[in-house]
Amino acid sequence: MASKIEFDRRAFMARVGICGIGASGLGSFGTLPLLTAAELELDPLQVRAGSGVDHLVTLLETTDRDDLLEVVAQRIRAGTTYRELLAALLLAGVRNVQPRPSVGFKFHSVLVVHSAHLAAVGSPIEDRWLPLFWAIDYFKSTQLEEASKTGWQQAPVDESRVPRPSQAKSALIAALDNWDVEAADVATVGMVRSAGANAMFELLCRYGARDFRSIGHKAIYVANGFRTLQCIGWQYAEPVMRSLVFALLNHNGEPNPANSDLTPDRDWRINLERETTLGAAWQDGAREPVATRELVEALRTASSEAASELAVEMLNRGVAPQSLWDGILLASGELLMQQPGIIGLHSVTTANAMHYAYRHAADDQTRRLLLLQNCAFLPHFRASAGGRGELGTDSIFNIEVPDDLNPNSVEQLEEIFAAVSSHRKVAAAKVLGWLQGGGVAEDFVSVARRMTFTKGRDAHDYKFSSAVLEDYAAVSPEYRSLFLALSVFNLRGSGDRDNQLIERAQTALS
């Protein structure tokens, strides 16, 4: 059923300043073909090698940044499809941007590709090109940064060392276990050529959760890399999987973890033993909101080992895994509330990635490990945040809801997004009260996405908003409003300045 403020939404957009970019919503982008929902439901069989994607990759790599948006727009008008452009963007990223010395920083130009796609899928029809154009411009900036600093490009495959199909999987597992980059590279090629996407995902989602280095970006790359390949086609997997495995084997210059007992690897080794103590019926428990709250409260002070042990105890006493995932998602949001910034937002996006892997992995042991590892990661995120400054002590369960909110009022939604820019705690309380009073979450989500398009300034805006708006549906109903209220601690508000891409795009495309 449509919300009561449905017909007032555009008036609201105008008042908060996010429709002032042209009658079509995107100014000069209005001359591009409108993307229907069907065109965004990407069928990987519709994008194949030789369809012009290689030429598009070269176009993205070699066109000057100042001219790129205009050149891409011309190609779209000439018939280049959204699918082809999405594929070319991912491939250009993995070929030209190195996931070292960290899987974050400049490499966000690759990590953000699927987040931009999710933003396009959930946006109004007149806005759907904007996330992809933003991601193209962002890729170009990171390509130039990589070229000036290192000159790195993905090397050709050493075909003489690629193992036979019958040996590829065992060779890749051995190389990953031994943290052997060169052996892993050729084994990855062999497995991509001889095994399917599901086999690769089952293997690599485990290694994405193996260690806490790069504050969760390894797990994020596994999830976003595979999700993008599901859209564009497995025929493009080889360079992407080579880049992913190279990222998973980053250990920050420390001694080889295979021969050392390093802190980032310890939880994995312990949880490999701990998961065997779970009963065969560990997924058969009942949802218990009280257990969710118990886990959130424990994660404020627990060590990584204690957090994993509590998860095992809860599962063995009959608590459903869903209640633990509710606790993980809420605890990550609470950390962001207590210290808005880079660490808290990555606790949210990492939980999103590991929950995605959990929901799509078929192997029972892998699912156990993903849940236990995410519980172990949260204390590490909290410790990392504490090292950057004082943490707040606010509890998500003590948010005081105003009693004068009207969920059917455009003005109330306008006040919420104004408060996001000026006083996030007030905004969180207003969102919670607005939703509890009957406000429609889709109205909030719609405006939040538009704010990301027009106010977002870096990859984290897209990564975070796509993750949190997706996870809203994954949280149990009794906690959804609270989870969505926590999103304001890293969303954009109506008082934030517009990003520069819209102005650049209007100039380039006029």
Q: What is the pLDDT of residue 458?
A: 84
CA-derived radius of gyration, the chain: 23
Q: What is the pLDDT of residue 502?
A: 66
| Surface-to-core class of residue 225, CB atoms within 10 Å of its CB (0-12 exposed, 13-18 middle, 19+ buried) | buried
Q: What is the pLDDT of residue 469?
A: 85
Contact indicator for 304, 380 with CB cutoff of 8 Å: yes
- The token duo for 141 is 């900036």
> Domain segments of the chain: what residues?
32-253, 261-386
Q: What is the pLDDT of residue 48?
A: 44
Q: What is the pLDDT of residue 42?
A: 60
Q: How many residues does the chain have?
A: 510
Distance of alpha carbon 464 from alpha carbon 485, whole angstroms: 14
The whole model's pTM is what? 0.91
Q: What is the pLDDT of residue 97?
A: 96
Q: Name the residue among 223, 472, 268, 468 with its Cα closest to residue 368.
A: 268
Within 10 angstroms of residue 269's Cβ, the number of other Cβ atoms is 11
Contact indicator for 24, 502 with CB cutoff of 8 Å: no
Average pLDDT of each block of 10 consecutive residues along the chain (510 residues)?
A: 48 49 44 76 52 87 93 91 94 95 86 89 80 92 95 96 98 98 98 95 97 94 95 93 97 94 95 97 97 98 98 98 98 97 95 97 97 98 94 94 79 92 96 91 89 86 90 95 96 90 61
- Alpha carbon dihedral 206, 207, 208, 209, in 10-degree steps, equals 60
The dihedrals phi and psi of 401, each to the nearest 5 degrees, come to -85, 130
Q: What is the pLDDT of residue 12?
A: 52
Q: How many CA atoms lie within 13 A of 236 on its CB side?
A: 32
Q: What is the pLDDT of residue 327?
A: 98
Q: What is the pLDDT of residue 428?
A: 97
Q: What is the pLDDT of residue 50?
A: 42
- CA 405 to the chain's CA centroid: 32
